[in-house]
């Protein structure tokens, strides 16, 4: 009972906690999207002569992470339509950045690997991104450096959780659902 003889109202945390969590999620998603756009713009400014698109660089990076990957798995991993992956792979193969070969277990199955030039493209892209972040960190103060260092494990965990959500969204038949 309150001092006025009325029943005490319940603590507001039951409603405000989910609202605050949702707001934090929206703020995090917006911040990450802005960071990705800023990184893409800065990478283009740092290397304006790079003829590769971000989609091509992401595909090359995914093949670097998983040499011997099949195009279908790559499509699911990148959440792209299989024909989009085929188009990207064909273009990268023509540029000499990726190889296509068959497996000994199944001559019909195509696997992908980077050429030396493809590996250099990935390394150059990663180095450009690291240099951009290094330069930007130079503008920040020690407290912000510390906060970012402390946040890295949580950001890695968030990345893993988002990857798991994306992986779980792929049906058992292995085909990504159509985008709406």
Could you read off the pLDDT of 46-78 as tens digits, one per residue?
Answer: 888 889 998 999 999 999 999 999 999 999 888
Which residues lie closer than 8 Å to 105 by C-beta, 6 or more apart? none
Give all domains of the chain, ordered by start, each with its CATH number.
37-139 (1.10.10.10)
With tokens 């703020």, the residue in question is 27
Mean residue pLDDT of the chain comes to: 85
Q: Is 98 buried (19+), middle (13-18) or exposed (0-12) by CB count in 10 A?
A: buried
Please give the structure tokens belonging to residue 142: 């020690």
List the chain pLDDT tens, one digit each, 180 residues: 444 455 554 545 455 667 778 888 899 999 999 999 999 899 889 888 889 998 999 999 999 999 999 999 999 888 889 999 999 999 999 999 999 998 887 778 899 999 999 999 999 999 999 999 999 999 999 999 999 999 999 999 998 998 888 878 766 555 555 554
| Whole-structure pTM value | 0.72
Residues 6+ apart with CB under 8 A from 59: 74, 78, 85, 88, 89, 92
Tokens 């950045």 -> residue: 97
Q: DSSP character for 69?
A: B
């Amino acid at each position: 009972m309150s001092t006025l003889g009325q029943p005490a109202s319940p603590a507001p945390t039951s409603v405000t906690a989910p609202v605050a969590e949702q707001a934090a999620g929206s703020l995090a998603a917006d911040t990450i999207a802005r960071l990705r756009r800023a990184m893409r713009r800065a990478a283009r400014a740092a290397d304006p002569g790079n003829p590769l698109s971000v989609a091509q660089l992401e595909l090359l990076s995914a093949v670097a992470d998983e040499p011997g990957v099949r195009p279908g798995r790559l499509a699911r991993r990148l959440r792209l339509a299989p024909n989009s992956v085929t188009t990207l792979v064909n273009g990268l193969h023509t540029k000499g950045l990726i190889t296509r070969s068959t497996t000994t277990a199944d001559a019909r199955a195509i696997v992908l690997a980077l050429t030396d030039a493809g590996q250099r493209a990935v390394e150059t892209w990663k180095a450009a991104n690291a240099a951009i972040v290094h330069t930007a960190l130079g503008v920040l103060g020690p407290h912000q450096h510390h906060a970012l260092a402390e946040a890295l494990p949580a950001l890695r965990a968030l990345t893993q959780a988002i990857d798991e959500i994306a992986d779980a969204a792929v049906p058992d038949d292995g085909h990504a659902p159509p985008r709406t």
